[in-house]
Amino acid sequence: MDQLKTAFVQSILRLSPQVQWRNPVMFVVYLGSILTTALFFAGLFSEVNTQSGFVGLISLWLWFTVIFANFSEAIAEGKSKAQAASLRSSKKNVPAKKLASASKSAKVSLVDSLSLRKDDIVLVEAGDTIPADGEVLEGIASVNEAAITGESAPVIRESGGDFSAVTGGTQVLSDWIVVRVTVNPGEAFLDRMIAMVEGATRQKTPNEIALTILLVSLTIVFLLATVTLLPMSIFSVNAMGAGEPVSIVVLVALLVCLIPTTIAGLLSAIGVAGMSRMLQANVIAVSGKAVEAAGDVDVLLLDKTGTITLGNRQASAFFPISGITEEALADVAQLSSLADETPEGRSIVVLAKNKFAIRERDMQSLGAVFVPFSAHTKMSGINLGERQIRKGAASAIKQHVVSLGGAYPDELIRIVDDIAKRGSTPLVVADDAKVLGAVELKDIVKGGIKERFAELRNMGIKTVMITGDNRLTAASIAAEAGVDDFLAEATPEAKLQLIRDHQAEGKLVAMTGDGTNDAPALAQADVAVAMNTGTQAAKEAGNMVDLDSNPTKLIEIVEIGKQMLMTRGSLTTFSIANDIAKYFAIIPAAFASTYPALAALNVMHLGSPNSAILSAVIFNALIIVVLIPLALNGVAYRAIGAAALLRRNMLIYGLGGIIVPFIGIKAIDVLLVAIGIV
């Protein structure tokens, strides 16, 4: 309720020429309101004027039309400003431990976070709030980013790699890190978020500018046509010697009803709401252009790991050698994984349990000693007394069994090769010096992802999987996932060239990335979504940042962009269509006194010329209010192509835009006649 009150106050405050001229269509209505108001007050002092009540009502409803248009934008911006206020409340001036050099042992001085500048070095320890955006130079720490992402689970930040970026305002939970500040005051990530959600600073996007030009062109055409009607009606009256020329008030009402005021009044609100929906999805867009570009995307470049697949390879099958049953292999493989907390290890335990009902056993009761995986040995397992059970890479297990006096059978070499050819990872299992077989670990394609790609295909969007795997593995996963194409053994140069090739064909390209090696491709892409967990270089190269660092968010981003464009297209169709219906209401009434024959066009059988004109003006104002929720929430998203979308718009919003005004204007006319206003 408070937000509605604020929006209403803002609607009144915007009734100034400096604000109104920014929307040319509504500026025409604004000038018409001033003109009719002047005519109303002039009529009050005229003894011969009998239409002052009618002129006053027309003037009043024209002002309502302008206010309702302001109201739609004020509500949208109010939501954004509420989000900005919430973000500002999380922005704090905190103490910072500034270091004299990039070392934890360097001299520490306590300063305010607002005094920090780019390239300053700070130490952040357990319990401290990170004072500014930066990059970890030394150390490793668990960080709570709930204030930024909304996720309560802590994340690990460490020097080097793709998880070195930290955000000001987040809190270190354990250990310590040395951070190099990467921004000056006012340039921090939180500042960019606040600036983005401030609707008042939003720049018009290219499509919005093009639509505005179209609306202005239509307005000019109708303005010129309306201006010529007055001398024509005067000439007709003089020539026929009967009737009355059309009044200026009626011409203003005619102009307002014929120009596309509905979409003009809602256009800005649609854009602000689109950016707001992006923020609700935990995505920060650098500009509205990026949101709009997401709706126009033709090609999606998607990382395989974490986007198309689950990110961790899962055990899918057991392949024993001759003389060993599959269940026996599964039993030993599960034993080797009982204390293995990696996703791969847990998946082996689960597969053995599901396939052969082998229950997990307690390592303590077995007297087992866990042997963790190491990069040196490339295997892990457990020791049961003198018994050594191991699983690991084929080369590591071969070396292990040979050292114990065992043999590495040729049959296993073929099994390992077959698994590798399918794009999976073979994990060989050994019990002491005896090799039992291999476990196949494969990339598991995410459930429902194939259907999502099919939806994108229906929308005319091509999906391309990016992976560092070899072509055989990439082809296998691409076929299973249902993507349109793939880039195997991808290098930064290959990704950059792929984007340029598609752009050379006139296509818009979207991609995600998190590493420094992704920065060139992100800078080249039209929609570049950097992960919040990624490097500073990736975030600076992108035009969007995903706070959740979820690679599949790219699909949702495209859908939000599409929804914004669909909303704009739908309401534009409705606006132009309802102008046609208003034509049938107001034209016969406007010229009934000049051209009595036009009464035959009064197909709606409206009560009187004055009630017809006033009903059309009232409907023109109220329809903006009715459509505000649709402009803010967006039309229902449908994964359909451009041709199907056009047919749907014409059927629902085009036909609806013609029918609804007939019903609405007639209902208002009946009400006005019934209460005797006109």
Of 131, 203, 206, give the one whose Cα is nearest residue 172: 131
Torsion over CA: 363, 364, 369, 372 (sign) = positive
Give the H/E segment covering residue 536. Answer: helix 536-541
Copy the structure tokens of residue 580. Answer: 């046609």
* DSSP helix/strand/coil, 51: coil
Partners of 442 in the β-ladder: 314
Catalytic residue among 133, 303, 331, 443: 303
400 HSE (CA, 13 A, CB side): 24
Alpha-carbon radius of gyration of the chain: 34
The residues, ordered by sequence, that sit 6+ positions from 361 with a Cβ below 8 Å of its Cβ are 335, 338
> Coil, strand or helix: which one is 313?
coil
Report in angstroms the alpha-carbon separations of 492 from 467, 506, 522, 532: 11, 22, 10, 20
Identify whether the C-beta of residue 328 lies closer than 8 Å to the C-beta of residue 320: yes
Binding residues for Mg(2+): 514, 518
Nearest C-alpha neighbor of 167 from the set 195, 187, 188, 185: 188
C-alpha 624/C-alpha 629 separation (Å) is 10
User: Beta strands 527-531 and 368-371: pairing type?
Assistant: unpaired
Q: Hey, which bits of 277-353 come out as E strands?
A: 283-285, 299-303, 314-320
Write out the binding residues for ATP.
Answer: 340, 344, 373-380, 391
Token match 């910072």: residue?
96
Sign of CA dihedral 652, 655, 657, 659: negative
CA–CA distance, 154 with 172 (Å, rounded to integer): 9
- Report the relative pairing of strands 509-513 and 299-303 from DSSP bridges: parallel
Nearest to 301 by CA among 453, 161, 451: 453
Report the SS3 class of residue 186: coil
Contact 445, 481 (CB under 8 A): yes
Q: Estimate to the nearest angstrom the gap between the alpha carbon of 368 and the chain centroid.
A: 51
Binding-site residue set? 340, 344, 373-380, 391, 514, 518
- The first and second tokens of residue 345, run together, are 């290890």
How far CA 424 is from CA of 409, 438, 443, in Å, comes to 21, 12, 7
List all residues 6 or more positions away from 255 whose beta carbon is below 8 Å from its beta carbon. Answer: 28, 32, 222, 223, 226
CB 80 within 8 A of CB 199: yes
Distances (CA, A) of 157 to 178, 180, 535: 11, 13, 11
418 given a catalytic annotation: no
Residues in the chain: 678
What are the residue numbers of the active site?
A: 303
